[in-house]
Chain A
Amino acid sequence: MSKIVKCQCGHDNPFGIVLCERCGRPMTEEAKNSDVVDMRYEGSARRSQTYKRSIIDKIWNFFSSVKIGVSIIVAVLATSAIGTLFPQKFYVPVREEDMLDYYERLYGFIGTLYYKLGFYDMYNSWWFKILIGMLGTSIIIASVDRVIPLYKSLKKQRTKRHTSFMKRQRVYGLGPSENPDLALTNAAEKLKEMKYNVKTEDGAILAEKGRFSRWGPYVNHTGLIIFLFGILLRGIPGFYVDETMWIREGELRSIPGAPEFYLKSKDFSIEYYTKEEADEVFGAALDRVGTIVKNYQTDVTLYKKKENLLPGSTDMDLVKDYSIIVNKPLKFEGYSIFQMDYRLNELKSMTMQLVEKKTGKSFGEFTIDLDDPKGVYELNDGAQVNLIGYYADYAGVENGEPVSKSPIPNNPAFIFDMKTPDKPKGEKSFVAIRQTLETEENVYAVKFVSADTRDISGLTIRKDKTLYILLLGGLIFMIGVCQGSFWNHRRIWVQKGEGEELLVAAHTNKNWFTLKKELDEVKDFAKLPSYEDRRDNESIEQEEGEK
């Protein structure tokens, strides 16, 4: 980094410079030959434009190129779109092993391909992650490559610029003035009034406004990097909890992912909109689509295990009662519990009675708690029913044995042994919903009376320590984009030329229209020479046409 380029004005510029940092003279052949000079980074010496040899230089140059950056952005954009073609794994209502069938059934050959290529879980794929990683790298390197030289140039710029610099500005004017000194003083006064920061030096003015907006992109990129960093952190255990639980009404369960805490569900309810409550407003909609849900709600009590307890003890403190509804999760100690799903009317208990088939005479009723079916039910007149077999989710008979496909009481079936004074040895009976099987003709039978049901709530438990980092990233990003978009960096140079001539030049990083409007005001007030915008040929032609 030792090479130095000396300018005619005496300033020592770093190697790779395009425009002299101080006076603005073009330093390269290309800059000397162009009509309007490229002002993007003040013609400063950027590493990526200067060093091109070692591997590190090459990597640096690759990632600092905006062309590459934009290509990466477009690649993320295009691949993201592919992922919306068919539903992602997360939204497919079948188990992992049935997934291929699902895509094949619904989307045919393309669906199979989609599955096989891994697009069904695209956003978690290694190549998508690499793309995001490259995006982050590119943002960092491109920003560092530019922000430092840009900062240095803007700091070192001199008020008085060389004529060759002025001439190569997009907005430029040269003309005689009756009183150049007065014009300069007036211009300075007017510019100050217009909130410009005005510097004068030896018959030259530099008026500058909104330089801080030049840092906008770098601030917003910092925000993006913080955001991406936050996402990266979620991989670390403890930063991020994502669990689900199903809880039945009346149940008390430990909360997955939050080992100290227990949750009891008191009630789950669904509410619908009714026509009575707002017929005038919602009546038409309810007529068209039928029922619309108003609320899903689980009433819960949260408990915390008492501290310093012996292992195995379950002594607990009540923390709070809460009603979890959609959009209002239960929050405690960094955790949030969300209402996500439900199942209605799971069987809780069934009430039966023992009757004599012929007369219909009842020995009384008994209730089987399906969570905890107990063995023996004592009835009137010394009768007794023994529950000798229970199949919660009965799915037919295999090898002479009834089988249950799950422990959830979707389709309970029982084998009873009925002991009556009449038949002290007992009679056996298999009872399922709408079905009774007997090995031989029985005298007595167990008949279904009624059932009790309960609802189940599907809850999600989240803890996300990265949220604040993400939020911070978002906030910084917003500050940066606003800074760079709503303000712009304007500069107006006025200086004396040869004899009684004045030179005017102006530059802005965006929003030329307003710059020219402001320049017009100064021009009219201070009688500056007129200028032209060398990019707007139409106005020039039109004005000439109208003359």
Chain B
Amino acid sequence: MSLASLSANLLLVSFIAYLVATLFFGGAVKGAKSEASYKNNRWGKIGISITIIGFITHLGYFITRWIASGHAPMSNMFEFTTAFAMMLVGAFILIFYLYRTPSLGLFALPIAIIIIGYASMFPTEITPLIPALQSYWLAVHVITAALGEAILAISAVAGLIYLLKNVDLTKPSKQRFWLEAVVFTLVLVLGFVVSSTTFKMTGYEAHFTYIDKNEKPAKIEYNYPPLFGMNEYEAKTPEAMTPWAELPAVINAKTLTTFVWSVVTGTILYLLLRLIFRKPIALVFQPFAKKANSQLMDEIGYRSVLIGFPVFTLGALIFAMIWAHEAWSRFWGWDPKEVWALITWLFYAAFLHVRLSQGWEGKKSAWLAVIGFVIIMFNLIAVNLIIAGLHSYA
């Protein structure tokens, strides 16, 4: 078996391990009366052991891929996102040992699983590095930044648990609406995974030529039936469907097509779930959060921001500036990705300040943590795919 395929198999093992570990954490929460009494629950111990095994194989994936390609596997969407999931699990393990709460695992692991699923929809082959990325700063900067983001993401997980427990979901309210919206977004990601996998298995391909925004001819390949066509497109695959509309050059019609397919699939999935459960999906998850201790979740939320913020600053701003100075001759260039890293940083700075001085604890703090995660994901996904800049890869 080559290193590259060994690497892929290790990732698969982690994926399964996280799934199994989630079940055990579920068992731990179900069997206990309260936070205090499930601290040393046997199910919880098995759960964390399996999580650690999964994390080690995940690390194995990372290292073998690094050896195979000769560079840190953080250089395209698949690699970065997979590594982010790994660090999320790592951050969870760290926080678990500080607070020993299975509730956190019950929510953190499924999120890691969804992220790995999302990552696997992007091209997974090993790409050689373009000149701008050939630097040891690639490893130093991206690993630290991703680690910081992963630790910050744990605060969103804790926040979500806090909200599921403390927001009254039995009657309509703004908070209930938004909580359901968060759940809906997660279902949309599943929608992307399902639709993308479906078309991949059927081997769907449609080729086009088009004129890009600098008025140069270009080629593109769709893996979904093309709902929207690129600027001045010409179909090269006659049997594929004809796009409904041609879009101006600044909009990537392929990305929009993928997005619309995912939203449609996700919405159908969501409606199916609503039909099965006959209540808001957040309410389905609520019992799993009920036994968590609110004060503890609030503190985990704060603590993970406190740990994640310095790491993020170091990786996403300081190391980033040093590298940008080496590679692009300026330490800061207001590139969209840079700006969004700054926005993330400012956001968490604001979080820390309002928490400390305005006493924004509990629900407010939990909502802020969730919004912070949304910003991180926006930077990872939307800025890469939509607002293309120097950083966009894949």
Contacts and interface: CB of A to CB of B under 8 A. Distances in A.
A478 B310 contact: yes
A261 interface: no
A90 B334 contact: yes
A428 interface: no
Given A80-B342, A84-B336, A460 B295 contact: no
Interface of B: 2, 4, 33-37, 68-70, 99, 123, 125-128, 130-132, 134-135, 137, 213-214, 248-250, 293-296, 299, 302-303, 306-307, 309-310, 313-314, 317-318, 321-322, 325-331, 333-336, 339-340, 342-343, 346-347, 349-350, 353-354, 356-358, 383, 387, 389
Contacts of A477: 313
B309 A481 contact: yes
Contacts of B327: 326-327
Given A70-B350, A70-B354, A329-B329, A292 B130 contact: yes
Interface string A82-121: 0111011011010000000000001110000000000000
B295 A77 contact: no
A469 interface: no
Contacts of A108: 248
Contacts of B34: 542, 546
Contact of A88 (B35, B135, B334, B342): B334
B343 A338 contact: no
B348 to A, nearest CB: 10
A127 interface: no
Given A69-B353, A106-B249, A281-B4, A327 B346 contact: no
B131 A325 contact: yes
Interface residues of A, number: 72
B128 A282 contact: yes
Contact of A336 (B37, B70, B329, B334): B329
Contact of A294 (B131, B214, B294): B131
B364 to A, nearest CB: 13
B203 to A, nearest CB: 15
B333 A66 contact: no
B128 A273 contact: yes
Contacts of A338: 328-329
27 contacts: A69-B353, A70-B353, A73-B353, A77-B343, A83-B334, A84-B336, A85-B387, A91-B389, A273-B128, A280-B2, A281-B4, A281-B68, A285-B128, A286-B128, A293-B130, A296-B131, A462-B329, A467-B331, A478-B314, A486-B310, A512-B295, A536-B294, A538-B294, A539-B36, A542-B35, A546-B34, A546-B37
Contacts of A66: 353-354, 356-358
Contact of A295 (B131, B354, B383): B131
Nearest to A283: B125
Contacts of B302: 510
B318 A474 contact: yes
A77 B340 contact: no
Contacts of A76: 346
Contact of B123 (A81, A93, A288, A327): A288
Contacts of A83: 334, 339
A483 to B, nearest CB: 10
B350 A106 contact: no
A285 B127 contact: yes
Contacts of B214: 93
Contacts of A486: 306-307, 310
Given A288-B125, A326-B132, A327-B326, 18 more contacts: A40-B356, A66-B356, A70-B354, A73-B353, A77-B342, A83-B339, A281-B69, A293-B130, A326-B134, A336-B329, A478-B313, A482-B310, A486-B306, A533-B295, A535-B295, A538-B294, A539-B35, A542-B293
B334 A478 contact: no
A318 interface: no
Contacts of A81: 339-340, 343
